Structure 1
């Protein structure tokens, strides 16, 4: 069967699809060529996308032959799930394939905030030797607040606790005896406001929905500690970006680590890029060699399963 891949997919996943007898057309930037992409859709039995491809009503109407859509990742805000369901097109996500990589990104952000080694390196190369300025602090005994307590938060908590951190979490959909609380030892907070007040680092792990859009805003920044950092490796739009800029510039909080933005790629002259203590990365939290391979292989196997009339455990609609 014919499969179209519209964004970056690791080569081993593509080879796996070919090995299973499928014809694969791959253009890693096709998502940015909307008209061309739409013109190709009627030809394909399956489509594989990432986060840039807008799977909306227009897209689905043209994908009349499509039997399954694979999502190379777990975020689904770019996909009209209800529209796909009405057309009986299963959406397959790469369930937990990049969870470890995202968890390690969060740890890297906290370590960078507490011990900015790249800045120290740059300073030494300018023939300085300012040991007092680069005196950092320990993560041990610091408090990490997790907003959202799913699989990634679970893995972040395990690593943070190994560093001696106190971990608190807020998630109205997690019950007191769920494993992330009972087995990981996260202290569950009843109110988001209490988590914000208590945490030295705040890491977001929720999907982008109408309810979570701009979840972190001016009102919430005013509750945080002055030395707190916000880490967003989940979805752009969870943080009100202008409110963040103002909060950092006013020294309400220390800074932020943003791997995702409301508009990607970053816009020219974005205020975010003008604030030194707001650290930016190009949506790479889940992009390690290992995660890329796992994601590509999982989607290849699950798309093939659906094309052969099987049922996928990774179906989300």
Structure 2
């Protein structure tokens, strides 16, 4: 019987019996994360000693971890971002790596727009104030008819385009790849990142973390932003220079931010957590019932397929 380590805590939470049946019918024993937290290198090394497959969330699958797993033949990402997996060593060892592309795009786009609305309309501030007896009015920003910049036009970015259309927003976008037909069909202004930061009222990030995108949103860019800018990041924390973002918000250079992805998770002593006009999440944008079920099913099918090929 083959063994598969499963690290995401939400995996198969709502379709458990269906997933277990799939494992059993394919002669696979699932081993679930016992720590109720993101696993660290040492924990992964111990857990992967005699494991054939891995279904992973955001846990660090480093060169050291992979080299310590002699039987590992396949990794199924529970999600789409693979920046936590050392792809060079995985490829060198001929370990198959798969992703659950498209499974959570609607959920992440929903959450991204929810963060945008929450920051713009100061929903959390007003909620907390009312619960503490403060019934004063708080002036906030309109969203309808404003300019939004979308960084990354993959499935999630395109989901944001559809939601922004419902609010009659002027849509700006940037992506490494330019799909002319899609851009024209959706009346998108395709421009560089600098123009988006300078002209847009809202920016939502949906790009992978790479050497090129690391700290893409930095102090220089933010110094040219509009004072009413709301920045949303549900992608990866390293894309935003968090110190520069804190300074921009604290100094009233921009209006606020919605952050579901930090460079360190959970963040330790992040000054961003002290700001009222910052709404944060626990990297939870993909956590809807529907997305969780579909990601669990797709990751299971991917690992079964790849282990059968080995």
- The one of 147, 157, 162 equivalent to 1:158 is 162
1:48 pairs, out of 29, 48, 55, with: 55
Q: Shift of residue 4 of structure 1?
A: 1.2
Alpha-carbon separation, structure 2, partners of 1:272 and 1:135:
21
Deviation readout 1:130-152 (Å, 9 max, x if unpaired):
3xx33444321111101111111
Q: Is the 8 A contact 2:153 2:174 kept in 1?
A: yes
| CA RMSD, Structure 1 to Structure 2 (Å) | 1.9
What do residues 56-112 of structure 1 show as CA deviations (whole Å, max 9, x unaligned)? Answer: 211221222122111111111111112111111111111111111110011101211
1:269-317, Cα deviation, whole Å (9 max, x unpaired):
321112221221111111111111111100001111122229xxxxxxx
Are the counterparts in 1 of residues 118 and 279 from structure 2 also a CA contact under 8 Å? no
Q: In the TM superposition, what is the alpha-carbon distance from 1:214 to its structure 2 partner?
A: 0.6
**CA 1:129–1:278: 2 relative to 1, 3 Å:** closer
Match of 2:12 among 10, 13, 24: 10
2:4 and 2:200 map into 1 onto residues whose CA distance is 46
Find the residue that maps to 1:32 and give its secondary structure: coil
Match of 1:35 in 2: 42
Q: Please name the residue that 1:187 is paired with.
A: 189
Structure 2 equivalent of residue 64 of structure 1: 70
Distance 1:204 1:195 in 2: 11
1:138 aligns with 2:139: no
Quick check: 1:210 aligned with 2:242? Answer: no
Deviation at 1:173, TM superposition (A): 1.9
Tell whether the 8 Å contact from 1:145 to 1:201 is kept in structure 2 after alignment.
Answer: yes
Q: CA-to-partner distance for each residue in 1:198-241, whole Å, 9 max, x for gaps?
A: 11011111111111111111101111110111111000111111
Q: Decide whether aligned partners of structure 1 residues 61 and 195 sit closer, same or farther in structure 2, where only a CA change above 3 A counts.
A: same
Partner of 1:315: none
- Whether the 8 Å contact between 1:139 and 1:164 is mirrored in structure 2 is no
1:276 is aligned to 2:276: yes
What corresponds to 1:237 in structure 2?
238
SS in 2 for 1:300: helix
Cα–Cα, structure 1 residues 308 and 120, in superposed 2: closer, same or farther, change >3 Å?
same
Query: Secondary structure at 2:49's aligned position in 1?
Result: helix
Does structure 1 residue 81 correspond to structure 2 residue 87?
Answer: yes
TM-score between both structures, scaled by the size of structure 2: 0.91
How many angstroms apart in 2 are the aligned matches of 1:116 and 1:36?
A: 40
Q: 1:55 & 1:121 partners in 2: Cα distance?
A: 39
Cα 1:280/1:121, change in 2 over 3 Å: closer
Mapped to 2, the partners of 1:33 and 1:244 lie a distance apart of 28
Q: Retained in 1: the 8 A contact 2:148–2:200?
A: yes
CA-CA distance at 1:264 after TM superposition: 0.9
Q: State yes or no: 1:26 paired with 2:62.
A: no
CA deviations on 1:187-206 (whole Å, 9 max, x unpaired) are 211x2211111110111111
Query: In 2 relative to 1, CA 137–17 (structure 1 residues): closer, same or farther, beyond 3 Å?
Result: same
CA distance in 1, matches of 2:8, 2:130: 40
Using the alignment, how far apart are the partners of 2:249 and 2:298 within structure 1?
40
Paired residue secondary structure (1:308): helix
2:101 match: secondary structure: coil
SS in 1 for 2:239: coil
